[in-house]
Each structure stands twice: as C-alpha cells, then as structure tokens.
Structure 1
Amino acid sequence: MLPLLSDPWFLFPVDGLGTMRSTVHTRCLDDAEIGEMLTRTRRGYHRAVAGLASAGNDVIMDYPLSEAWRLADLLEVLCGFDVTLVEVRCSPAELQRRERARGDRPVGLALSQTLVYAHGDRDIVVDTTDVGADVCARLIVGEWSRLSGPKAFDRLRHR
C-alpha cells in the first residue's frame, strides 16, 4: 500500500466501526431504534476520527456524506484540523457491478445517495471507474501537494 501522508496514518472506514457492533443486540431493534443506533455510531465515528487526529495521527476517512447532518457535525467536530475533502467518482454501471460483486448491499444503494456531494465543494476529484486504488492514491497525493488557500471544509464552514 502506498503511504499517503506522514506516519502514523490510519485508513478508517466507517464500515469497520460498524462491524464492532453486537449483531445479536441489533437484531432486537425496530426500525426507529436502528436509525438512532446508526446516528450514534456515525457521531461516534466523527469523534473517533477527531480523537485519532488530535493524538497526532493522519487519518484517511472512507465515509459518504449522505445525510446533511453528517457534514454539519464533521465541520464542527473537525474544526481546527487540516481536512482535505476528496470526491470519489465512479460510473453508474461500475458502481452496480461492484455492489453485485460485494453482495453486502442492495444494488443501487450508491446511486441512491444523491446527497453525498450536495454541498457542492471539494478539494480533489478522482474517478475510480477504470483505475485502481493505487493509481487514485497517487493522483490524490499529487493534487494534495498542490493545494493552496482555504480548503473545502474551511469554505463550507464559513458559508
């Protein structure tokens, strides 16, 4: 794997945090309780990322901003941190192929998350349709080294 930032750094996908949840307890929850549990988990994820960063770690979040409150909470929780917002694109056909191959999500979920980029700002854009993670990582590092001025999180915070 290509080190993107200074060591130590963490790739911290939100799905990794979700796998720590008790499946036995989760099966006992109704839809409203599941929604509340997911919100608590996501808020906790935001604070875990801030905790890792505040201890001097570089953190790469793998996280869709698919609900407006997520961005608002992150803007608050990550205030004072240097955040680079990367938009990761992929063709609809390839998204559906990947969802079918994964088998752990309904096909069409990614396309249904129309709010992910509704905030209209980003620092870097990569398209994963025809290239792998290593190529995208190199593209991100190249673009990241050229960023100057206020970044997307700072611009969004001041709107």
Structure 2
Amino acid sequence: MKKTAKIIFIHGASSSGKSTLARALQSQLPEPFWHVSIDHLRDSGILPLDRFRRGDFNWGEHRSAFFEGFHHSLVAYASAGNNIVLEHILEEPQWVSDLAVLFAPFDVFFVGLHCNLDELVKRETIRADRPIGSAADDYHRIHVGQRYDLELSAGRTVQEYASQVLSAWSVRRAPSIFQQLALERMSEPFLL
C-alpha cells in the first residue's frame, strides 16, 4: 500500500535561500525527498530560454501554461508516492488556493522563508540570473496575507533554519495550513 506523500513547501522571495535550505533538509530528512523547483527546470534546458530572450516566442503567452503544467507535475510526483521538498514563489494570488486543492491528498507542511530586503538585493545582484528588482518585488508582496505552518525569520544560518523546519515538521499536526485552505476553497459557493 502506497504511503501518503509528504511535501515540505518552502515559499520565499527570489534569492531568499530556498534552494540552500531545501538541500540542507534533503540531506537530513529521515526518508528520501525529491528537491523540486522552477530553477531545476530552467537550468536543465527544458525551456527554450534563448528563444524567449531573443523574442522568437512571447513568454507572456506561454507563462500560464508553463506554471499550470509545473503545478500538475508536482501532483503526479506525489501521487506516485514521492516525497517532495518544494521551493516555489507564489507569484500569483490564486496559486496558493489552486495548489491547496491540488495538494489536498498529501501531507503538506508550508514554510514561509523571510529575508531582509538589503540582503535579497545583494544576493540578486551577485547571482545575476534574475531580472534586477525581482527580489524586491517579491519581498513587498508574496508574504502578504499568507498563513504558514512555520515562518522562518531573517538572520539565521541555513543549519538553524533546517533544524527549525525539521523540529516543527516532526511534531506537525493536522490539519495543516494547506489542508485548511483546501477545505475553505472547496466550501466556497460555486459561481457561474
């Protein structure tokens, strides 16, 4: 019998340290977890990025389908029984409730990773693989109104963050924030 997949969902601004935290968790979790992110897809060459950059294709016309496919791929991985450490930026307000419904069958632990603005801008500049200003834009909007199972405040080391996540995750209780969001979404009246 297949176990319910577990998803540790790390949500934070661009350059906030999501990948570093995800790798630290992956190396310490008591069972295997896939580390999944948009960056993995981007860096693997799945997207024809050069052609988008040159203007051969309009990213705006394909963005929605890309993210919808990404979100559904996560469901496919978890439905097959794979545990996931997911790092993602909920750029669109609707994504959190959409993902809450998609992830309803799974054990989801939602982590908000905060980083101060000066540090985000510094990291973004050093990385040079994101449009300048993305981190500041994320900083000012992505955590607004979000509810988390655990929030990590700025100024800690990755090991301290990992310890906090592992400790809180090991004593998590149902329903998780994502389960609550899914129930709220499914109880909304259907509007035509």
TM normalised by structure 1 equals: 0.86
Structure 2 vs 1, CA of residues 74 and 97 (structure 1 numbering), >3 Å: closer, same or farther?
A: same
In terms of mean alpha carbon deviation, does 111-120 or 52-61 score higher?
111-120
One-letter amino acid of the structure 2 residue matched with residue 10 of structure 1:
W
Q: 2:133 aligns with which of 97, 108, 115?
A: 108
Query: Could you give the per-residue CA deviations for residues 73-92 of structure 1, whole angstroms, max 9, x where no partner exists?
Result: 21222121111110000111
Counterpart amino acid of 2:80?
Answer: A
**Inter-partner Cα distance in structure 2 for 1:115 and 1:65:** 10
Asked if residue 99 in structure 1 is aligned to residue 127 in structure 2, the reply is no
Contact 1:128–1:136 (8 Å) recurs in 2: no
Report how many aligned residue pairs link the two structures. Answer: 154
In the alignment, structure 1 residue 89 sits paired with structure 2 residue 117: no
Q: Does 1:70 align with 2:95?
A: yes
Residues 75, 157 of structure 1: 8 Å contact kept: yes
SS in 1 for 2:62: helix
Which residue, out of 122, 125, 134, partners 2:148? 122
CA distance 1:129–1:95, change in 2 (3 Å): farther
CA distance 1:5–1:128, change in 2 (3 Å): farther
Q: Secondary structure at 1:83's aligned position in 2?
A: strand
Farther-moved stretch of structure 1 (36-45 vs 56-65)? 36-45
- Indicate whether 1:16 and 2:43 are aligned: no
In the TM superposition, residue 25 of structure 1 has moved relative to its aligned partner by 3.8
Greater relative contact order, per chain length (Cα 8 Å cut-off, separation 6+): 2
* Cα displacement (A) at 1:128: 4.8
How far 1:138 sits from its partner (Å)? 1.9
Q: Residues 80-108 of structure 1: CA distance to partner in whole angstroms, max 9, x if unpaired?
A: 11111100001111111110110112333
The question of whether the paired residues in 2 share the 8 Å contact of 1:18 and 1:41 is answered with no
Does residue 61 of the first structure (1) align with residue 82 of the second (2)?
Answer: no
Change (3 A) 1:5 1:126: farther
Distance in 2 of aligned mates of 1:129 and 1:106: 24
How far did residue 18 of structure 1 move?
2.8
* 1:5 Cα deviation from its structure 2 partner: 4.7
Q: Distance in 1 between matches of 2:61 and 2:102?
A: 19
The CA distance in 2 between the partners of 1:78 and 1:36, in whole Å, is 26
2:57 maps to 29
Give the Cα–Cα distance (whole angstroms) in 1 for the partners of residues 141 and 103 of structure 2.
20
Alignment check: 8 A CA contact 2:97 2:181 kept: no
Gaps of 5+ in 1: none
Q: Percent identity?
A: 25
